[in-house]
Structure 1
Amino acid sequence: MMKRSIARPVSVAGAVALSVLLAACGANGTAGGAADGGAGGPKVTITSPADGADVSMPFTLRFTTSVPIGPPDSGREHVHVFTDQDTADYTVVTSPSFTIQDLSPGKHTVGVTLQHADHSPAGASAQITVNVTAPSGGDSGGSDGGYSGYGGGY
Structure 2
Amino acid sequence: MKRFFLTAAGCLLVVSCGAATGSTGSPAGSPTLSIEAPADGANVGSSFALEFSSNEEIGATDSGKNHVHVSTDGQADDYTVVTASPFQVTGLPPGKHTVSVALQHADHSSAGASDEITVNVTGSGGGAPSERQSDYGGGY
TM-score (norm 1): 0.70
Question: How big is each residue's C-alpha offset from its partner over 1:36-77, in whole Å with a ceiling of 9 and x where there is no partner?
Answer: 754320000100000000001210100001110000000000
- Structure 2: how far apart are the matches of 1:147 and 1:97? 16
Q: Counterpart of 1:84?
A: 73
Structure 2 residue runs of 5 or longer lacking an equivalent are 1-23
2:113 is paired with a residue whose SS is: strand
Q: CA RMSD in A?
A: 1.9
Counterpart Cα distance in 2 of 1:146 and 1:62: 15
Contact conserved, 1:37 with 1:122, CA < 8 A, in 2?
no
Deviates more, 1:39-48 or 1:113-122: 39-48
Q: Percent identity at matched positions?
A: 52
Distance 2:92 2:25 in 1: 26
1:107–1:132 Cα contact (<8 Å) kept: yes
Is the Cα–Cα contact under 8 Å of residues 47 and 129 in structure 2 kept in the other structure?
A: no
Larger of the two Rg values belongs to structure: 1
Looking at structure 1, the residues matched to 25 and 135 of structure 2 have their Cα atoms a distance apart, in angstroms, of 24
The code of the aligned residue for 1:64 comes to S
What letter is aligned with 2:35?
I
Please say if 1:145 is aligned against 2:133: yes
Structure in which a larger fraction of residues adopt strand? 2
CA distance in 1, matches of 2:27, 2:92: 32
Q: SS where residue 124 of structure 2 aligns?
A: coil
* Unpaired stretches in structure 1, ≥5 consecutive residues: 1-34
Distance 1:117 1:84 in 2: 24
**2:101 equivalent among 105, 112, 132:** 112
Report the counterpart of residue 73 of structure 1 in structure 2: 62
Amino acid of the structure 2 residue aligned with 1:147: D
> Which residue number corresponds to residue 24 of structure 1?
none
> For this pair of structures, how many residues does the alignment match?
117
Which residue of structure 2 aligns with residue 5 of structure 1? none
CA distance in 2, matches of 1:83, 1:135: 17
Counterpart-to-counterpart distance in 1, 2:59 and 2:88 = 17
